[in-house]
Amino acid sequence: MVKTFLLFDIDGTLLFSNAVDSRCFATSYEAVFGQVFPTIDWRQYPHVTDHVIFRTVFTGHFGRVATDEERQRFEDHYVNMLETERQRRPEEFQEVPGAADCWRQLEADDRFVLGIATGGWRAPAQIKLGHVGISPIPTYAGYADGMEQRDHILQAAIDKARQDHQIASIVYVGDAIWDVTTTRQMNLPLIGIRRSGDHDVLLREGVKVVLSDYQDLSAFYQAVDLVLNEHASL
């Protein structure tokens, strides 16, 4: 049976945790390496992935690439801090309304295969997915571990899904400008998610459908149909 692969970003798409996540990343770097983290404006980095952000900052400070041990020491500190903050201030880790229920309903629908593609590393992604009630170890997933570019991350998840299923179409669900850039580069349709109703952020970039949440499941199904039909007509 041919299926549609629905590929989801995490931060800002399934979970609102960007502020605490960014703070933990920067604070962990400063604690481990004793250097001031330059900026948490991720647009200032060549690619918006944990791998590239860490490498860029570390190389800028020390004039060399971090060893595997140094990178792992930082990630361990970051993940531990993220988990501590999640337990201490769970309100800073908010599910996009309806995300987990939508995920479960889509999983039960034979027309779809679900996956995750995130610019974050695997370990912090697992914390976030588990927090909102989505399996922390999805079968089809792409992470930033060892990967620089977001298109490579998406492609990794797509390749895994195609090993097990006949994928006729792919839809990515994301919230950020770099999601628009990546899907355009890969010629994939995109459903936008914007938390605060600021849909214009993505609409101005040419995204055809932008939702605030997943509470209206029929609206999400309609969005999938719309972007696929729009893409097929191009």
Instruction: Dump pLDDT digits (tens) for 1-11.
Output: 899 999 999 99
Given its phi and psi angles, is residue 127 left (phi above 0), alpha (psi -120 to 50 degrees) or beta? alpha
CA 85/CA 71 separation, integer angstroms? 21
Supply φ then ψ for residue 93, to 5 degrees: -120, 85
Q: Architecture of 2-17+94-232 per CATH? A: 3-Layer(aba) Sandwich (3.40)
pLDDT, position 196:
76
3-state helix, strand, coil split of the chain in percent (to 5) is 50, 15, 35
Answer whether residue 92 shows pLDDT above 90. Answer: no
Contact between 63 and 35 under an 8 Å Cβ cutoff? The reply is no
pLDDT, position 26:
97
Could you report the per-residue pLDDT of 133-172, keeping only the tens digit for each?
Answer: 999 999 999 999 989 899 999 999 999 999 999 999 999 9
Q: Per-residue pLDDT averaged across 36-48, rounded?
A: 93
- Mean residue pLDDT across the chain: 95
Alpha-carbon separation of residue 79 from 42, 98, 117, 188 (angstroms): 19, 26, 18, 31
Contact between 185 and 152 under an 8 Å Cβ cutoff? The reply is no
The pTM assigned to this predicted structure is 0.94
